[in-house]
Structure 1
Amino acid sequence: MADDNTPAKRERAEETEDSEPSKRQRDSESAVPNSKQEEERADKDVSEQGLKKLLITGIPGVRQDALQGSLNRSAIPFHRLQKKKMEKDAEIWLPDDPIIIRACKLILNGTCVHGRKMQLNDGEQKAEEDSSRTLSQQVTALADMLYEDQIYFKEHILRASLRRVTQDLSKNKYNLEWLKSCSRGPCCNLEKVYHSPQIRGYRNKNEFTIGYDRDGKATVGFRYGRFADGDSSVGNADQCLHIPACALKVAEVVTDFLRNYQKLECWGAAKHTGTWRMVTVRNNSENDVIAVVQYSSSNTKKEELDEALACLDQHIRSKVDSGDLTLTSFFLQEYNDVSNRANDDCPVRLVWGKPFFHETLMDLQFRISPSAFFQVNTKGAELLYGLVRNWVGATGTETVLDVCCGTGTIGICIASGARKVIGIELCAPAIEDAKLNAERNKISNCEFLVGRAEDQIDAAISQHVKDGDKCVAVVDPPREGLHWKVIKAIRKSKEIERVVYVSCNHVAWVEQARQFCHPSDDSRHPGEPFEPIKAIGVDLFPHTPHIELVVLLERGNTLKETKSSKL
C-alpha cells in the first residue's frame, strides 16, 4: 500500500474537465546505429540525435531478450538497448526529454525482471540501495505526474509505435507506395490524444487478489509484483487513485472478515493451497454495486467451507444492514483450476440481490452481469465509442461487422447509422447479453453470432452483404490482439474496405499492422493489403502507462475516395 498521501500529491492528480488533446507535440526522431563498429560514434553523437544514454542497473544475469520483453510490456519508448549477459547493467537510449525520462523511471524503478529489481539511472549516477515500490507506484505508476504530462508521455509512446510499423515494413523492403512517403516517421498521422473525462475513481470493475501482505496478514488488494518474479505479497489499494470508494469498501469488509471471523487460508499460487482467491467488484453510475467472492473447494472439507461461506454472507449482510456498506448483489464463484483467472464463462452463484444491473452509455442501456465485458472507464468509453462511430462513417447503406463484440456495446452504439450490424464473439454468455441489450434498446438491425471470428466472417458477409454493398469491420480485441487467422479472414473478404481497429495494447498492434499491410501473397496475406489512414489516442487508463489506440485502415475504392477527397 502507498504511504504517500500528501495534499500536494493529491492536488497534482485532480480531475480535469478538459477533454481536448495535449497541445504539446514534441517528438524525438533519430537514427540509432546497430552495428558494433558504430557504438563509439553513437556515444559521441547521441545528444545530437535527440537521445540520451542511461543505465538500467541491478540486473546481473538477465539476458537482453528478457529485458527487452519486459521493457516492451511496460511501454518504454527506447530507441536502442544493449545488455551483455554477464554484465550487471544495461545501456538504454531514450528520448532526451525530462518528462519522458521521468515517466520511464516511474514505470521501471523497483520493478523486477527475472527476480532482479531494475533501476533507471543517468550514466554517472550510482543506483539507489532501496528501490522498493509502494503499491500505488506499482499499480498506477504515473500517478505522481501532472495529468497533462501523462498525456504528453502517452502521445509520445503512441507515435513511437506508429513509427515502428513504418520501420518494420521498411526493413522487409515491401513495395508499398504509401510507405515511401513515411520516410522514418509514423505510418499515419496521430491526430489527437484525448483526455479521460474522469481521472480519479474511474474504474467500474476491479479484480482484487486475496493473499497475505508483507506482515503475513490476510488482505484483499493487489499484488506488489509478478509471482514469476518472486513477490506474491498483496497490499490494500486505498492509495490507488483509479479505484472508486465503493470498491475499496468491499475490499475492506472482506479483509476484516478474513482476519477476524474465520480460519481458512488464502489461496497460495505456488503450491495451490488455501481457499480464498479473489474479490471482483463492479459498479455503475446509478451507485449499484456487485461483489463476487471467488474461492477454491479443493483444499477444504465441505462442512468447514459451507460454514465459512455462510459466515461470510452473514458478515456482509450485517455491514449492508448497518449502512456501512453499499452492495446491490452478492455472488460466489467456485474455481479450482491452478490458473490465476477464471474464464468469463465460469459460473457464478447469486447469493442475494439482483443478477445484473444496467449502465447507460450514449443514451443506451446495457446489461452488466458479473462476468460480462464492459470498458472499465464508462465516461471514457462513451468518448471512445463516439469517435469510433464517426470513423465507421455509416450512412445507412453499410453493413458493419463488430468483431470481438463482447456484449455488443460498440455495435449497438453505431447501429443507428448502419443498414445492418453483425456482432461476432466467441463467448456465448456475452452474446446472450448482447441480444438482450439490443432488445432492451429496441435495436432491430443487429444480429449476433457465436463462434470463432475466422469462421464467422465469411458466412456473415455471404448472408448479409450483396455485391457492391459496403462493409466496415470494427475490431476491439483483447490485449494480445487478433489471431492471424482473423486478420486473414478480413483480408480475404474483398467487401471489407474499411477497418476501425481499437487497440488497448499499442505494442502488440505493431505486429497486427504488419499483417494488415503486408503485400498480397497466397498464404497468410490474401486479398488487397490495407493502408493506415489516421490514428487517435483515447486515455481510458489515467495514472497508468496504458492508453487506447484507434487506427483507421482502408483499401480498394474506399481508399481511392479518401485520397481523392484530399486533393
Structure 2
Amino acid sequence: MPEKNKVYTAEITGLTSEGSGVCRIEEMAVFVPETAVGDVAEIKVVKVLSSYAFGIVDRLVTPSPDRCVRPCGAYKKCGGCVYRHISYDAECRAKDAVVRDAFGRIGGLSPQFDPFLAAEDTDRYRNKAQYPLAVIDGKAVCGFYAPRSHRVVPIEDCPLQPVAFSEIAAAVLDYINSRKIAVYNEKSGTGIMRHIYLRRGAHSGEIMVCLVARKDISRQLAPLCRVLAEKFTDVKSVILNINPAHTNVILGEKCLTLFGSDTITDVMCGNKVEISPLSFYQVNTAQAERLYAKALDYAAPTGSEIIADLYCGAGTIGLSMAHRARRVVGVEIVPEAVENAKRNAENNSVANAEFYCGDAGKVFGELRERGCAPDIIVVDPPRKGCSEETLAHIVDAAPEKVVMISCNPSTAARDAKFLCSRGYTAERVCGADLFPATRHVECVVLMSRQKS
C-alpha cells in the first residue's frame, strides 16, 4: 500500500470517466488529475483509502504524446473542463472507452460499437450558459463554480461559450453594480440576484437573457432591458425568473417576460423550434443533430410505425422522426416544454405528433391502457436514467425496438441490462461528444425485441 505524502515514479495507463489519470503504485490504483495516458511522472500520494488512492503530479518526467495546450485562462480553476491538457483525438478515445467500459462492466453486454461521433467544433459550441453570481471585493461578479464547491470563479470569457455571452454578462454586471442590486448569498438566503442564464439559437442567432432573482424586481430591471436591446441586436427576449427557494436549484417556476417574446426560435433537424427558459434543449446543436440522426438510423421507421418519445422535452427528437412515422406520441414532465412541443409541431405543420404532460412512466401507462401500442420507443432520460416504472411499461408495451439516448453511459448500461433481462438484445451502441473538453459523453443505444 502506498504511503501518504510519499513520492513515487509511475506511468499513467488509463483515464477514469471523471478525466483523471490512473496508475498503479504498490499494486494499488492511484487516481491523478490533469494527467494523460503515457505520462511518466513523479506522483505525490495525497490520500489513501482501503482499495485505491489519490495523487498529484510532483514532477512530469516524460510527457505523453497526447499532451497539448488548448488555451483557457480559467482551466484548473473552474470545474468545467478536464481535458484541456490533451489532444482532442485523445479525448475522444477516452470518452469512447468510457462508453464501451460502461456497457461491458455495468451492463455485462457486448453490442456492436459504432464509430464515435467526434465534434467538428471544440470551442464556442454551447448555446446555453448559466453564470452564478457572487460578490468579490465588494463587486458583483459571475463565472463558474470551482471543483467540488460553490465558490464562484470569475470568468471574463469561456472558450466553450459564444463571445456574445461574455459581453452580455459583462453588461448585466455593470448594471447590477451601478444600481447596487444585492447579490444572492446562498448560505444566508439573503440578497436578490442569483444567476445570469443565457440561451442562443445556433442557427437563428436569437438570444434569450434570463435573469434569476429571489423576488420580483421587474421595475428595477426595466432600464437594463433597454440597454441590452440597444447594445445587442440579437437579444430577442429578456426574462425574469423568480426563485425564492433557499436552495442551489437554479430556476424557479415563475417567469416574467420583461422585453420581447416569451421564447426564442431555432432550427433542429430541419424543424423550427421554440425554446423557453424552462424547456430542455440540447446544449450543442450541431452535435445533437448528428446524435438524433444516429437515433433515427437505429429506429429505421418505414412510415407505418407508432413512435413513443419519452422524456421528450420540446419534442425535438420525435419531430425529427415524424416524417417517417405514422404517429408520434411524446411524454414530458415539464409543462412549459410540452407547450413548446405542441407549438413546434404546429409551426412545422406536423399533424401526426401529439404531446402529453406528466411522469413518463405514469402517462405512458395510461396511454397504453387507451390502446397506444408503439412499434418503436425512444427514450432520452435525465442523468439518473429511466425510472423502474418507465422500464416496466416499456417491457409491457413490447415494442419491436427501443432507442435510448443518454447523457450518462453508466445509467444507460444499467437500463439496457434491465431490458436485456426481459426479452431485448442490445444490438448497437454509438458514443457521441456533445461537450468537448469536459468529462461528459453521450451515447445512443439500439435495443431489439427477441423473436422467441
Give the TM bin, normalised by the shorter chain.
Answer: 0.7 to 0.9
| TM-score using structure 1 length | 0.67
* Greater Rg by CA: 1
Shift of 1:134: 6.3
Distance 2:86 2:407 in 1: 21
1:292 aligns with 2:210: yes
The equivalent residue for 1:317 is: 226
Distance 2:147 2:226 in 1: 33
Distance 1:361 1:291 in 2: 21
Distance 1:364 1:136 in 2: 36
Distance 1:481 1:81 in 2: 35
Shift of 1:465: 4.6
Shift of 1:380: 1.0
1:236 counterpart letter in structure 2: I
Of the three residues 401, 421, 441, the one matched with 1:498 is 401
The equivalent residue for 2:199 is: 282
Whether the 8 Å CA contact 1:205–1:281 is kept in 2: the answer is yes
1:156 aligns with 2:63: no
**Residues 61-210 of structure 1: matches in 2 within 5 Å?**
74=18, 91-92=28-29, 99-100=36-37, 119-121=55-57, 135-137=74-76, 138-166=79-107, 169=108, 187-210=110-133
Matched positions, count = 421
Distance 1:481 1:154 in 2: 19
Of the three residues 382, 400, 407, the one matched with 2:307 is 400
Whether the 8 Å CA contact 2:225–2:258 is kept in 1: the answer is no
1:201 counterpart letter in structure 2: R
Whether the 8 Å CA contact 2:362–2:389 is kept in 1: the answer is no
1:409 aligns with 2:350: no
2:188 counterpart letter in structure 1: K
For residues 448 and 486 of structure 1, do their structure 2 counterparts lie closer, same or farther at Cα, with a shift above 3 Å needed? same
Whether the 8 Å CA contact 2:13–2:21 is kept in 1: the answer is no
For residues 225 and 269 of structure 1, do their structure 2 counterparts lie closer, same or farther at Cα, with a shift above 3 Å needed? farther
The equivalent residue for 1:564 is: none
1:488 is paired with a residue whose SS is helix
**Residues 356-435 of structure 1: matches in 2 within 5 Å?**
356-435=263-342
Shift of 1:552: 0.9
Distance 1:77 1:395 in 2: 45
Shift of 1:485: 1.4
2:292 is paired with a residue whose SS is helix
Shift of 1:509: 2.4
Distance 1:315 1:52 in 2: 52
Of the three residues 244, 252, 273, the one matched with 1:336 is 244
1:187 is paired with a residue whose SS is coil
Distance 2:233 2:435 in 1: 26
2:320 is paired with a residue whose SS is helix
Distance 1:356 1:81 in 2: 54
Deviation string 1:11-39 (CA, Å, 9 cap, x unpaired) is xxxxxxxxxxxxxxxxxxxxxxxxx9xx9
Whether the 8 Å CA contact 1:52–1:93 is kept in 2: the answer is no
Distance 2:220 2:54 in 1: 43
Whether the 8 Å CA contact 1:425–1:453 is kept in 2: the answer is yes
Shift of 1:212: 2.9
Of the three residues 204, 215, 233, the one matched with 2:152 is 233
The equivalent residue for 1:555 is: 449
Which structure carries more strand by proportion? 2
2:350 is paired with a residue whose SS is coil
The equivalent residue for 1:9 is: none
Deviation string 1:473-530 (CA, Å, 9 cap, x unpaired) is 1100111111111111111223x13111111011232322332223xxxxxxxxx332
2:283 counterpart letter in structure 1: V
Whether the 8 Å CA contact 1:198–1:380 is kept in 2: the answer is no
2:288 is paired with a residue whose SS is helix
Shift of 1:332: 1.0
Distance 2:59 2:103 in 1: 29
1:209 is paired with a residue whose SS is strand
1:327 aligns with 2:235: yes
Distance 1:457 1:406 in 2: 15
For residues 193 and 439 of structure 1, do their structure 2 counterparts lie closer, same or farther at Cα, with a shift above 3 Å needed? same
1:515 counterpart letter in structure 2: F
Distance 1:412 1:444 in 2: 10
2:114 is paired with a residue whose SS is strand
Which structure carries more helix by proportion? 1
Whether the 8 Å CA contact 1:246–1:289 is kept in 2: the answer is no
1:511 aligns with 2:414: yes
1:135 is paired with a residue whose SS is coil
Distance 1:208 1:118 in 2: 30
Whether the 8 Å CA contact 1:218–1:258 is kept in 2: the answer is yes
Identity %: 25
Distance 1:450 1:79 in 2: 48
| Structure 2 unaligned spans of 5+ | 3-9, 62-71
For residues 222 and 493 of structure 1, do their structure 2 counterparts lie closer, same or farther at Cα, with a shift above 3 Å needed? same
1:350 is paired with a residue whose SS is strand
